[in-house]
Chain A
Amino acid sequence: MNSRVSRTTGIDYPLIVVTLLLSAFGVAMVYSSGQTDVPAARLATLWQKQLVWLTLALVVAWVVSKASVRLIEWSAWPFYALAVSLLTVTLLFGSGAGTAESMKGWLTIGGTRLGQPSELAKVAVVLMLAKVLTGMRNTPRSLLDLWQPLLVVAVPWLLIMAQPDLGTGLVFVGICFVMLFWFGVPWPLLVMLASPGISLVLAFSTGVWGAWFLILLALVFWYRPYLVEGVILVVVNVVTGVVAPLIWDRMPAYSQRRLLVFLDPSYDPRNAGYQVMQSQYAIGSGGITGKGFTLGTQKRLGFLPEHETDFIFAVVGEELGFIGVSVALALFLALFFRCTRVAQRGSEAFGGLVAIGLAAGWFVHVVVNVGMTLNLMPITGIPLPFFSYGGSFLLMCWLSVAILLRISAEGRGQADGLGL
């Protein structure tokens, strides 16, 4: 099926090459982040720490890649239980960092930040969801049939939204939908599942929402879900699309702000506006060829905020220009294409679902993070895979790579076994 996977060892070289290139690019950008004209002793040595984390991540990845898919599937339950309990502990005792200073995303013991359990939860949810889905006898035909997989996602999702971390919550939503799609859930069902969220987004304009609501009604009549389901769906959409905006409009401005800040701690129009503006300046001023590696003035002079984590892609844009950005985006594109290949080999079985789920998580990260640097996405403060400084995130990225490698290797065997 694919000759680039070694026949003898089963190693997926394209996947390794792409992820190693992304990691190398990432560490280089973390190094550049430390090169500033404003005193920032912490930043200067960050790349060394990141390199240590990368080494550790590679070792972990090597070990994990030895585990069979069956073992990984078996570990889904304990892994998921661990993630949920860590999220619960974090919610009670966690601390904030970065653009999301005020939220509780970090597990801290004695002032030392151990990591973000939500990173672990992403992988755990992917494994658990894949396990639950493959355990289902029939393709889901109604929303009620989806209660099991939805519960798997909902528990950690609610814990994360309570931190509150809108960005990571978004990643779970993305993972959930992509995996359901891959599993073969009919698209009208996915649309219906997504409809309350769509209603909320479209609620800003009565006309647009009205049109959407008519389409939804037509879909409900055509698809004919259970009556209860259909009624609930319509009611929920009316609530999110009509009632919620009405309540919102009647709230005093300061309450609106409070709610926004609660939903999204980084919501601070002045500050957020400033960050995005500086990020756009940095990227735009980079031009086609960039200002040169480590030479970005926005970064050097301290205009670009969080340039070692959330806004690291703006440093790519400023220093390496459109060419550098294109290379980075091309590497990500290659990663996602490779992941779908792996998923394809894994088919709808556990391995395929895991592969597509992990890729979906990265994809949401990339789109939201990169989009944010250009003000195409709201500032949610989620990091860029392989680039942003951060140990637990890098570790989890490489854990995902290891799982993908294993799935790729075994999928190859399976395919051979099936004579494909």
Chain B
Amino acid sequence: MTYHPNEVARRARAARTVVALVIAALGLGFFRAQVLRSTEYAMQVDGQRLREVPLVAPRGIIYDRNGEIIAENLPGYTVSLLSPSADSLNAALDALSKVIPIDETQRNLVMRRFERARNRPAVIFNDASFDVVSALEERRVQFPSLIIENSPKRYYPDGEAIAAIIGYTSEISEEELRLPKFDSTYKAGQHIGKSGLEREYESRLRGIEGSRFVEVDARGRVVRDQGVRADIAPQPPAAIRSTLDLDLQRFIHETYGDSLRGAVVALDPETGGVLALYSGPTFDANRFTGGIPAGYFKQLLEDPARPLYNKAIQGRYEPASTWKLATSIIGMEQGLVEINTHMQVPCTGGYQFGSRRFKCWKPEGHGNVNLAQAIANSCDVYFYQLGLKIGLTNLVAGGLRLGFGERTGIDLPYEERSSFPDSNVTAYYNSKYGARGWTNAVVLNLSIGQGENAQTVINMARFYTALATDGAAAPPHLIETAVERKQLFSLKPEQLAALRSAMADVVSGRGTAGSAALQGIVVAGKTGTAQNPPNPDHAWFVGFAPYEKPQIVVAVFLEYGLHGYAAARIATKVMERYLNVSLVNASASTAAQ
């Protein structure tokens, strides 16, 4: 045994070296974790201790063409619960229901929302009243996991007037979340545009959601809900500007809203910008925000006038005599007729074709009229003969060229395509009536805007923008955008002027809509009365004003409106309002700037 101190000192040195090396190794381990990889670990820690509470971004404001607000946001409150598990959410709801009544349906909805996005607060009240919020705030301490958040609520100052265009916003559904257009930035519980402009311009109207952070413990219970980490403010999107004239829209609603059953569409003939688009009877778009009350929805669904059916872009109706301008243009383009051309057979209240007699709307007949008079007085017999001259194939081809078989492409969802025969006419009629089930007589019906021809009101308005200008039309649109006008037909300027002159006669003592004439403004247009057996006839008027330099095209369609002039009276009032009030104000404000 060596007691030699040197030997012991050597062992002590060895021991100290090992100790120092091991402790240094541990220190190095801590250096790596706490200095080199600290941020990474800090992120992990924050990930498990922080829960993100979404801060709802206000949706974009929509202005009309004069800067008036169509859609804005009001302050609102969302009440939700942040829970680690379904059990604890249930327990929290039990406790909460002692303060605020929560029924079974509501409860199930909350549970479903929780299941869809477990790490986000489950919404209990989307739009809590101030009373609810203050009642809950008072008992804040009892409910640590309760989240009360400002959430801007969509509001339309003229909710009833703009119902046909604005649409509504509501919570995104499970099905929608699975669609590719709703990418990963869309989360359960968020509100999206469900129809109308809100839907069409969702990507531009939607803001960027912000975040607030609350701290939870290892079991997911909220421990601290203030000052845990700086909020990320929600970002509202830039406002967008509509071509709509809110004053005009309001005028239509206020003047005709209680009785109008049909549609009014007003377009800027040069740009195709929609000045007004109204479908009656209307409803209150504001009541749709955040979910339609069941009772209100049922009432709207059961209304025989079908307020939820957009009669301006979805309803398709025989255009009747308003389509006679199309027949005229096709005839003129083919050189078959000029403004003063007479037909072989004068109108005696009907026209014999084969074994069948086709009636004119005027039993006593119009006599021997030229095209101008035939337009002014809407002589059916004249157009029967013109149709026969053009021929079925050419008439259909011409109609298709004028856009009667298309959608206008307006920036609203759910627009219906106007229905019109195919270019392969024989095949079309064969498939419709059977190979021997139809005769050339279909051309007679077609030439006066009846038969296999059903147009949306917006499409008729678009067609008339070409008549009001130089034969070209732009796609109608509600949000300002660069548009390309498409040439629908090419007439010589004097031919077009002659047609317009005939249309001006319609709204005069010489025409079918004399009673709708305005003082000081010459209106040009065409009435239409669509037979609708066994129900009363539908009434149409499409026209523009002022005749000399058209600035507004208006199409009015009245379900069971009986006579075209009824529609014409509304149309000319709309024109007058626009030309006298809106335009004057607009030019005044432009001048002021």
Contact = CB atoms under 8 A, between A and B. Distances in A.
Contacts of B217: 37-38, 300-303
A138 interface: yes
Interface in A344-359: 344, 347-349, 352, 356
Given A37-B217, A281-B45, A347-B5, A337 B16 contact: yes
A337 B16 CA distance: 6
B461 interface: no
B20 interface: yes
Contacts, number: 138
A284 interface: yes
A282 interface: yes
B42 A178 contact: no
A287 B218 contact: no
A303 B34 contact: no
Interface stretch (B24-32, B61-69, B179-187, B452-460): B24-32
Residue among B5, B26, B49 with most chain A CB within 10 A:
B26
B27 A348 contact: no
* Interface bracket on B: 35 or more
Contacts of B40: 284
Interface string B539-553: 000000000000000
Contact of A326 (B1, B27, B37, B49): B27
Contact of B34 (A182, A322, A332, A333): A322
A297 interface: yes
Nearest to B19: A336
Contact of A178 (B3, B15, B26, B31): B15
Nearest to B23: A333
* Interface bracket on A: 35 or more
B11 A374 contact: no
B38 A288 contact: yes
B8 interface: yes
B223 A37 contact: yes
Residue among B15, B49, B217 with most chain A CB within 10 A:
B15
Contacts of B2: 139, 184, 348
B190 interface: no
Contacts of B22: 363, 367
Residue among A280, A286, A317 with most chain B CB within 10 A:
A286
Given A284-B34, A287-B34, A303 B15 contact: no
Contacts of B35: 287-288, 322
A281 B45 CA distance: 6
B7 A184 contact: yes
Contacts of A301: 49, 215-218, 223
Contact of B30 (A184, A281, A325): A325
Residue among B8, B31, B33 with most chain A CB within 10 A:
B33
Contacts of A300: 217, 223
Residue among B2, B3, B19, B40 with most chain A CB within 10 A:
B19
B341 interface: no
A298 interface: yes
A233 B183 CA distance: 67
A420 interface: yes
Nearest to B33: A284
Interface in B34-58: 34-35, 37-38, 40-42, 44-45, 48-49
Interface string A265-291: 000000000000000111111111000
Interface string A363-394: 10001001100101000000000000000000
A407 interface: no
B12 interface: yes
A302 B218 contact: yes
A233 to B, nearest CB: 25
B9 interface: yes
Contacts of A333: 19-20, 23
Contacts of B34: 283-284, 286-288, 317, 321-322, 325
B15 A340 contact: yes
A181 interface: yes
A243 interface: no
Interface string B209-250: 000000111110101100000000000000000000000000
Contact of B38 (A284, A341, A348, A356): A284
A184 B1 contact: yes
Contacts of A341: 12
Interface string A236-247: 000000000000
A374 B38 CA distance: 13
Nearest to B219: A302
Interface string A22-42: 000000000000000110000
Contacts of A370: 26
Residue among B38, B45, B216, B223 with most chain A CB within 10 A:
B45
Nearest 10 CB-CB pairings of A with B: A284-B41, A302-B218, A322-B34, A301-B217, A285-B45, A287-B38, A285-B42, A284-B33, A344-B12, A37-B223
Given A284-B40, A285-B38, 5 more contacts: A139-B2, A284-B44, A286-B34, A333-B23, A348-B2
Interface of A: 37-38, 136-139, 178, 181-182, 184, 280-288, 297-298, 300-303, 317, 321-322, 325-326, 329, 332-333, 336-337, 340-341, 343-344, 347-349, 352, 356, 363, 367, 370-371, 374, 376, 420
14 contacts: A37-B223, A38-B217, A38-B223, A137-B1, A181-B11, A182-B11, A282-B45, A287-B34, A303-B218, A322-B35, A329-B23, A363-B22, A374-B29, A420-B5
